[in-house]
Structure 1
Amino acid sequence: MRLDSHRKMICIVKQHFKLNRILLLTIGLWPYQQSLLVQFQRIFLISILTSSIVFQFTLFLTSECTLDFVIKILSSVLFFMIFMIKYNLFWINSQAMRSLLEQLQNICNELKDENEVNIMKKYGSNAKRYTTRMIGIFMFSIFISFCMPIWSHILDIVRPMNESRSHSTVLLTQYFVDQEKYFYLIFLHINAAFCIGGTAIIGTGTMLIAYLKHACGMFTIASYRIEQAMTINNLQNSFQNEIAIYKGIICAVDVHCKAIEFCKSLISSVEGLFFILIGFGVISLSLNLFEMYKALSYGDAKEEFLFHFIIVMIIFLYMFLANYAGQEIIDHNNHIFYAAYNVRWYVAPLHIQKLILFMLQRSTKAVSLNVGGLFAASLNCFASLATTSVSYFTFIYSTQQ
């Protein structure tokens, strides 16, 4: 089913990356915006993130550094450092992110027929659904984190007491000012940092997932082209048919190679910082699991439990989605092998059978998102990271007994 000459092609940014664009524009990370105003916006936002981490570290200057205290501070500091890493990941690699968008647009412009366009639209819609759901989760987390510190103020209005309740934040900080007097300024600073960091995590994370979803669409198109090429052979064994089969297989190999190169380009641009991110994520998850357990043990530390529970769920969900996206890449690449094996290759001419054999051999090579040569994004990797985090939590728990 050929595309009509007047038919409009897919516009990747407008149709599939609209929500991602809005998220990244709010924090100055959209790769097509490089003006001086955007540069100032980035410096201002990164300053808020950096200062939120610094004012947590300053507690070590004024407090006794017991092991329990160090764990409590690091449980939140590492989480905010994840915000920093994610923000800088897109800032440093803005040109690479722009190049990936342009590659996707060029691939969409080369699609052969309407079925291929529909395949790419399907995967683009899946990416948009991911983004919408993640925005919903983020908004709920922001609402909870906003309500926790001012809960005592709300209680003063609803159920006033003879004595005023003290204002405090769950996040421990040292601003070297009267914490009670400047509570709302401190509260504003902490929540601004959380909103910026959360938007960075959601915006960059959903952008990367959208890239990988489109890569899955490219693998599916390669499978589709193989199946379509071999159905030509069912009509008649003519010289023209053989040429048509050759062209169909060449087109399938071409989009398959482009999908592999796209994945390699994506992972090579983020590999270094992602390796650090994995380490921080595992350690932060372990420490927050321990703090969550402590809050649960005390019984009356509901706000602390909820704070650490939100952090654990964010890290856990992010870790799962990243590895699930990697697993989808592996599965879609494997499907090309099944597509080539299941077509009626045995009725094709011998030289075409040899061509399909080469495709089968290439498809047996695993295509995965490998980070630092140690982590290949997959469900097995997610299980390993989760198990490692629980092991560290168990070790910390045993040392505190």
Structure 2
Amino acid sequence: MYIEEYYYKINRILLMIIGLWPYQNSTLATVQNLLISSILGSSIYIQLIPFITHECNSILVIDVLSYMFPTLVAVIKYYYFYMKAGVMKRLLEQVQADWNSLKDKHEREIIKSYAEIGRLITIFATMLCYSVPLVYAMSTMVPYIINIYLSHNNTYVHYVYIPIDYSVNQEKYIYVKLLHFFAFLCIALNTVVAFAALIGLYFKHACGLLKIASYRIEHAMNVEDMRPISPLEREYVMCIKIMRAVSIQQKALKFTDRIMSCFTIMYFLLIIIGAISISVSMFRLVRILQTNSDWREAFIMAMSVIGHFVYMFIANYAAQEISDHCNDVFFAAYSSTWYVAPLRIQKLILFLLQRGAKNFTIILGGIFIGSLEGFASILSASLSYFMVICSTQLTEEKMAK
């Protein structure tokens, strides 16, 4: 079975939209890359224009950075994926090879169940991702349509809210601005979701391999099934089963290490940007609510803050899940009837116990251990930065008075 035909189909579509699917036609992908690069590059340029056209102050910096940081996240992910397309292709081929190597029916059901969970998460994330542009489009179109129905004489520009300051004539270029912002929003959201969903599926695959390792260990010591054979043959069968369990465990850990080693720099940048971006977005959301600004601006900021929290929680939860499955392999070996096995088999199990005695952790960016505890640490750091920004702003307001 080719996994991309079902379990990775949504991922393939998402990546093909932005020209990053490893097996895509090179000419079409090149055109897509140039178009998307121009949209992303122009978006960054437009967001920096207020520093030239307006007087620089802390409020302006916060307003610009609240959109600039999420934009940088999308840009970093896009170009890093573009540079690592060959690696992503080899990882996909490794997943396919692992599927093909599984002959046991129960083991194939295990790996399919984990892939199905990853597929459902991808579908949910995609629906959530594209609901944001849909809500934005409705917020600009519905009031205008209602106004036409009521025969009021207002132009469309009065109903359009574009959070980015384009510093050009609002009425003259309204449709160009709206088209550019909508394209940028869809590309940025699609990039973040496509990358995260694919990495999430890879992590689910690693969890499936570790679950199979636990299954093999649990059934390797089943003496009842091996009573008809001689003790020598029984020892040989046990040895083969344990070796297969060790082999697939090592395969899963190497697969995970390979993913993290390829994206160390990217995760290092994203952790720093993400922690600061949450604080900036939270501060701007609070300020919007205090000043009773446009509800659409508050909605976008609220979605940004929620998106930050959800993304970081899922990333840390995925890392925590890998660690938990490694611990499950250790407990499976520890709980098995190893004491009835021959001495050579006990030595193999000892190898598993020694490997599992030290917790396997995923280090994101080379500086941060991915786990639920790590997620709590990020929240704590972000709230600290938020309080610092609030206190700094309060001090500036007092000095201005």
State TM-score, norm by structure 1. Answer: 0.93
Q: 2:57 maps to which residue?
A: 66
Q: 1:5 maps to which residue?
A: none
Q: 1:302 maps to which residue?
A: 295
Tell me how far 1:282 sits from its aligned partner: 1.3
SS of 1:64's partner is coil
Q: How does 1:270-289 map to 2 (within 5 A)?
A: 270-289=263-282
Alignment coverage as a number of residue pairs:
391
SS of 1:370's partner is strand
Q: Which moved more, 1:146-155 or 1:338-347?
A: 146-155
Q: Which moved more, 1:159-168 or 1:216-225?
A: 159-168
Matched, 1:219 2:219: no
SS of 2:56's partner is coil
Structure 1, unaligned stretches of length 5 or more?
Answer: 1-9
Which whole-Å CA distance do the structure 2 matches of 1:68 and 1:358 have between them?
Answer: 58
Tell me how far 1:13 sits from its aligned partner: 1.6
How has the CA–CA distance of structure 1 residues 158 and 383 changed in structure 2, closer, same or farther, with 3 Å as cutoff? farther
Q: For residues 319-369 of structure 1, what are the alpha-carbon distances to aligned partners after superposition, in whole Å with 9 as ceiling and x for unaligned?
A: 111111111100001000010011111111222222212210111222222
Matched, 1:174 2:158: no
Q: 1:106 maps to which residue?
A: 97
| Mapped contact 2:200–2:318 kept (Cα < 8 A) | yes
| Mapped contact 2:323–2:360 kept (Cα < 8 A) | yes
SS of 2:21's partner is coil
Q: Which of residues 31, 36, 41 in structure 2 aligns to 1:45?
A: 36
Moved over 4 A (4+): 149-152, 158-165
Q: 1:396 maps to which residue?
A: 389
Q: Which moved more, 1:295-304 or 1:315-324?
A: 295-304
Amino acid at match of 1:400: Q
Matched, 1:266 2:259: yes
Which whole-Å CA distance do the structure 2 matches of 1:250 and 1:29 have between them?
Answer: 38
Which whole-Å CA distance do the structure 2 matches of 1:263 and 1:162 have between them?
Answer: 60
Amino acid at match of 1:230: M
Which whole-Å CA distance do the structure 2 matches of 1:365 and 1:33 have between them?
Answer: 42
Which whole-Å CA distance do the structure 2 matches of 1:158 and 1:304 have between them?
Answer: 26
Q: For residues 287-327 of structure 1, what are the alpha-carbon distances to aligned partners after superposition, in whole Å with 9 as ceiling and x for unaligned?
A: 11111111111234312111101111112111111111111
Tell me how far 1:168 sits from its aligned partner: 4.7
Q: 2:399 maps to which residue?
A: none
Amino acid at match of 1:86: K
How has the CA–CA distance of structure 1 residues 154 and 286 changed in structure 2, closer, same or farther, with 3 Å as cutoff? farther
State TM-score, norm by structure 2. Answer: 0.93
Which whole-Å CA distance do the structure 1 matches of 2:175 and 2:61 have between them?
Answer: 26
Q: How does 1:185-224 map to 2 (within 5 A)?
A: 185-224=176-215
Amino acid at match of 1:275: F
Q: Which of residues 38, 47, 50 in structure 2 aligns to 1:56?
A: 47
Identity between Structure 1 and Structure 2 (%): 38
Q: Which moved more, 1:224-233 or 1:158-167?
A: 158-167
Which whole-Å CA distance do the structure 1 matches of 2:3 and 2:171 have between them?
Answer: 50
Q: For residues 157-181 of structure 1, what are the alpha-carbon distances to aligned partners after superposition, in whole Å with 9 as ceiling and x for unaligned?
A: 2555566573553413235x31221
| Mapped contact 1:323–1:377 kept (Cα < 8 A) | yes
SS of 1:16's partner is coil
Which whole-Å CA distance do the structure 1 matches of 2:50 and 2:147 have between them?
Answer: 29
Which whole-Å CA distance do the structure 2 matches of 1:154 and 1:49 have between them?
Answer: 31
| Mapped contact 1:233–1:241 kept (Cα < 8 A) | no
Matched, 1:24 2:15: yes
Which whole-Å CA distance do the structure 2 matches of 1:258 and 1:233 have between them?
Answer: 29
Which whole-Å CA distance do the structure 2 matches of 1:295 and 1:105 have between them?
Answer: 49
Q: Which of residues 222, 229, 244 in structure 2 aligns to 1:251?
A: 244
Tell me how far 1:154 sits from its aligned partner: 4.0
Q: Which of residues 114, 127, 151 in structure 1 aligns to 2:118?
A: 127
Which whole-Å CA distance do the structure 2 matches of 1:74 and 1:14 have between them?
Answer: 40
Which whole-Å CA distance do the structure 2 matches of 1:26 and 1:280 have between them?
Answer: 26
How has the CA–CA distance of structure 1 residues 258 and 46 changed in structure 2, closer, same or farther, with 3 Å as cutoff? same
Q: 1:92 maps to which residue?
A: 83
Q: Which moved more, 1:342-351 or 1:158-167?
A: 158-167
Amino acid at match of 2:16: L
SS of 1:166's partner is helix
Amino acid at match of 1:242: E
